[in-house]
Structure 1
């Protein structure tokens, strides 16, 4: 169950902004707390609130990209523009509203592979989007700014390891030209509607860069989060290529490992789950254990 200071703060922002806009937030359910607190309201609206103030530029971009993709007929969640067509700011947090997608069943990695192929075939939108030049920038920043959750030895090890991996990233050669990236193309960000159609959600990591960054999430899911070899094989067939055959695969998996601890460094001070999960992930990284199981937070909390 999600609890702690970050969750309490997010509920406070939700109620304040809801009151300002005339949106009923009574009985809201907190579905997820990572880079964003994600709420489902009784009315069916989805509300996303940035967990930290530094998410502002990507929040605006993610909203714009989702709206642009919907206009092109791409299967994306839809912004609830009838509530607000721009993020609402409250004490440094940005709040966005999205149309709820009633779901039926869990999507497959085959569906994820197909939809990512469709995404990477899209042109780059005609407005500014960041380039994925340094995927570990946020982790590096968290190591320097969240010293209260790391020991001096942990910070020193992380600094050195991030520097090594950043240098390695700069030597990687992509299989093709830069594409429009989802940025967090994990199976949990794919929803299967009741009509059987799958749609992508959570566009805050959108960027332009090497397609391998979107692909590696599924392979990393087998390494750390319980996906099977069959899941990965189906994903590769659906996308049309297998990342394991790319020379940079091992390096990219190590970079993804490091990327996946950043959110828990940032959230550990105010989120009990991150406080518990961070030592597990750090321990496996420092020991060089590439197969230790990692975990996701469990939903959900209601408030009346």
Structure 2
């Protein structure tokens, strides 16, 4: 009998916890998405990567420990040798956050400003790659028509060329890589904590800022006043930069590929994926397209 995703994830969790000498009995699923999150006894959260993401897990542990040394409010890895590897998957263990709410754009801006002001780490963290996994997702997706797949892959090639020829912008720095309000936790005393450094790298800070700009321009999920407040708090508006349309196009193609990835066996997400494809192909009028979030 084929294991369910939850059962398969639990098997990996139990193997990693056993190797790390951590308790896994009674562990509860937090979320099963691209990565799988579990709550363990004792205030520990386990994060299981997709296969082949060992290097990203190592980088995330190194960066969050470095951020702690620089007093950046971020998630804290458990003090132990990690990641733990189970086959091709990496498992990391983190201190569970206290009760919190999801942040908003106003909470994100000062965290990004602080992150972007840091010196580049002395250890190797790699260059920002905004295209990571897009081609694989599009090439393998069974929900795509041949025509849509060909168009999306051609759009990807076009954006790669444009990315390599971006105009000058803000100074390069360490970037979060997935800087949206869902990766900010606000605890009861008002403290803000930045999470999920899987895609952290050295690169253009405009990439982090484009995520919030796309919430206005693509998703229509924040108001213009919220966006203005974000820019004021950060100190820069990426939308006035000549390279912004390229970064927005890459962000949108990433969001299409994520919806395509998660749509297998889920008709609601499949419908959202088809809608997103129609939008980027110019079949649904001007932005904002009011895309709905997918898990």
Normalising by structure 1, we get a TM-score of 0.86
Deviation at 1:6, TM superposition (A): 4.2
User: 1:301 — aligned with what?
Assistant: none
User: 2:231 — aligned with what?
Assistant: 236
Partners of 1:234 and 1:267 in 2: CA distance: 33
Q: 1:206 pairs with 200, 203, 214, which one?
A: 200
Relative to structure 2, which stretch is displaced further, 120-129 or 218-227?
Answer: 218-227
Q: 2:177 pairs with 183, 193, 196, which one?
A: 183
Relative to structure 2, which stretch is displaced further, 88-97 or 41-50?
Answer: 41-50
211 and 78 in structure 1: CA distance in 2 versus 1, 3 angstrom threshold: same
User: 1:296 — aligned with what?
Assistant: 293
Deviation at 1:239, TM superposition (A): 0.4
**Aligned residues between the structures:** 290
User: 1:78 — aligned with what?
Assistant: 76
Deviation at 1:94, TM superposition (A): 0.7
Q: Is 1:254–2:253 an aligned residue pair?
A: no
1:42-191 paired onto structure 2 within 5 Å: 42-50=41-49, 52-81=50-79, 84-132=80-128, 134-144=129-139, 146-191=140-185
Partners of 1:225 and 1:27 in 2: CA distance: 40
Secondary structure at 1:127 match in 2: coil
Secondary structure at 2:133 match in 1: helix
Large movers: runs of 4+ above 6 Å: 270-273
CA deviation string 1:53-86 (max 9, x = no partner): 13221111011000011011111110012xx331
Deviation at 1:184, TM superposition (A): 0.3
Deviation at 1:219, TM superposition (A): 1.2
CA deviation string 1:264-300 (max 9, x = no partner): 44444477775554333223222454322333345xx
Residues 102, 183 of structure 2: 8 Å contact kept = no
Deviation at 1:13, TM superposition (A): 1.6
Deviation at 1:137, TM superposition (A): 3.8
282 and 129 in structure 1: CA distance in 2 versus 1, 3 angstrom threshold: same
Deviation at 1:126, TM superposition (A): 0.9
Secondary structure at 1:261 match in 2: helix
Residues 112, 187 of structure 1: 8 Å contact kept = yes
Residues 218, 232 of structure 1: 8 Å contact kept = yes
CA deviation string 1:128-187 (max 9, x = no partner): 11112x42242013223x143422222211111111111222222242221100000010
Deviation at 1:113, TM superposition (A): 0.7
Deviation at 1:112, TM superposition (A): 0.9
Q: Is 1:217–2:211 an aligned residue pair?
A: yes
Normalising by structure 2, we get a TM-score of 0.88
Relative to structure 2, which stretch is displaced further, 280-289 or 98-107?
Answer: 280-289
CA deviation string 1:32-72 (max 9, x = no partner): 3333112223432111111x213221111011000011011
Relative to structure 2, which stretch is displaced further, 174-183 or 199-208?
Answer: 174-183
Q: Is 1:38–2:17 an aligned residue pair?
A: no
194 and 125 in structure 1: CA distance in 2 versus 1, 3 angstrom threshold: same
Residues 66, 76 of structure 1: 8 Å contact kept = yes
- For the aligned residue pairs, the C-alpha RMSD in angstroms reads 2.4
Residues 6, 271 of structure 1: 8 Å contact kept = no
User: 1:281 — aligned with what?
Assistant: 276
Gapped runs of 5+ residues in structure 1?
A: 299-304
